[in-house]
Each structure stands twice: as structure tokens, then as C-alpha cells.
Amino acid sequence: MEELKQLMKSHILGNPVRLGIMVFLLSRRKATFSQIQKVLDLTPGNLKSHLNVLEKDKLIKTYKVIADRPRTVVEITDKGIQETRKFLKMLKGIIDSIEF
């Protein structure tokens, strides 16, 4: 369990909200800010804060599009895909090592 504790404390995706954002984006490549907010039941400020952390680490990119109204699109980067898969594999390794 110490390995899990260290992984969750030291990795950017150790935060459940950020991991949720990345898994959601992994399944669809990109989504609007409001879609992510609704699926994860987050306040706009909370979501924006987590997106800033992910964007600073280049795991996602955000940009504006104008359709019927301005929207913020969040897109997972290639680095984001690799890091999310790597993190999930590490979690799976820890889970697989647990004897029931």
C-alpha cells in the first residue's frame, strides 16, 4: 500500500478529479468545458483550476471555438494520452499485486 500512497501523492494524475478529466478525454479525444463540468459534477472554478494544472504540464490543450456561442474546447495531447495510460498501468500493477 505504500507504493500506492507514493504514486497518488507524487503524480499529477494522483488527484481523482484530474484523473477523471483525463480518462474522460482519453475516451473521446476532446470535449467542451461544459461537458466535462457536467459529467464530473464540478464547479466552473474547480474545473478551471484542474485544467490549468493539466495544461501547464502539457497533458491537455484548451482553445476557444465560436459556433452558436463561444465555447472552450479541451483536448488531450499525445503526451496526455501516454501519461494517462502509463498511470493507469501503474495502478493496475499495484492492484494486480494485491492478494485477496
Instruction: Spell out the domains of the chain, with CATH numbers in brackets.
Output: 2-97 (1.10.10.10)
Write the pLDDT tens digit of every residue in 23-73.
999 999 999 999 999 999 999 999 999 999 999 999 999 999 998 889 999
CA dihedral 87, 92, 8, 12 (to 10 degrees): 10
Write the pLDDT tens digit of every residue in 79-98.
999 999 999 998 898 888 88
Length, in residues, of the chain: 100
